[in-house]
Amino acid sequence: MAADPHALFEEWFTEARLAEPNDAEAMALATADVHGRPSVRMVLLKGHDARGFVFYTNSASRKGDELAANPRAALLFHWKSLRRQVRIEGAVEPVDDAQADGYFATRSRDSQIGAWASDQSRPMPDRASFEARYQTLVGDYEGRQVPRPSHWRGYRVVPERIEFWIDRAHRLHERRLFLRDGPGGDWDGWRESLLYP
């Protein structure tokens, strides 16, 4: 039994980067609106440490709207080549502007301009309109640095629950659960247990 789920995640994530043919960083992100209606989509993990798991998106997108109304989320990593999953649940908080700016600066120029051009999750009249907007912005930013749009931000899922799942024969899977532990909600450690398959 390990005392630190973040260390175990890093170990598994390192193995996944070597084993997965595409996007070991891909994770399903589940959110819910103010009425509890769920929604799930794939996003990419862009950082993790003891504070949580970070991804970036348009805050005016559907997921951004849902996170504003209900700042809780669940993540799922499924590394099929390793026959492993990691499930994470917790509150969501924005990353600070400096961190978002730093990551935005590492994106390709095309992706930076795309963040300005896309009204993510909103109705689009036709593909040509979007491509024309994109090309206009390419011209507008020619020879200049592309700044991060204020609507493009980072979010951190602060885990309260992390489950490590390993596939076993005959569906006799191994499930290790870590729960945040601390007196009066003052999180200061993790409690580990096993779950039946």
Looking at the structure of the chain, the number of domains it has is 1
Residue 113 counted as domain residue? no
Domain containing residue 185 = 5-97+152-195
Q: pLDDT digit string (tens) for 7-63?
A: 999 999 999 999 998 999 999 999 999 999 999 999 999 999 999 999 999 999 999
**Please, what is the average pLDDT of the chain?**
94
- State the Cα–Cα distance between residues 192 and 162, nearest whole angstrom: 10
Q: pLDDT digit string (tens) for 131-176?
A: 999 999 999 999 999 999 999 999 999 999 999 999 999 999 999 9
Residue 122 counted as domain residue? no
Residue 182 has pLDDT above 80, yes or no: no
Residue 23 counted as domain residue? yes
Lowest mean pLDDT among 118-122, 123-127, 178-182: 178-182
1 pLDDT band, cuts 50/70/90, is low
Q: How many CB atoms lie within 10 A of CB 120?
A: 18
Q: How many CB atoms lie within 10 A of CB 49?
A: 10
* 3 state DSSP class of 73: strand
Q: Which sign, positive or negative, has the C-alpha torsion 24, 80, 40, 133?
A: positive
| Mean pLDDT across 112-123 | 93
Tokens of 22: 């595409």
Tokens of 34: 């103010």
Catalytic residue annotation: 171
Longest dimension (CA), the chain: 60
Q: Select from 99, 109, 197 the least CA-distant residue to 153.
A: 99
* 3 state DSSP class of 103: helix
Residue 188 counted as domain residue? yes
Domain of 57: which CATH number? 2.30.110.10
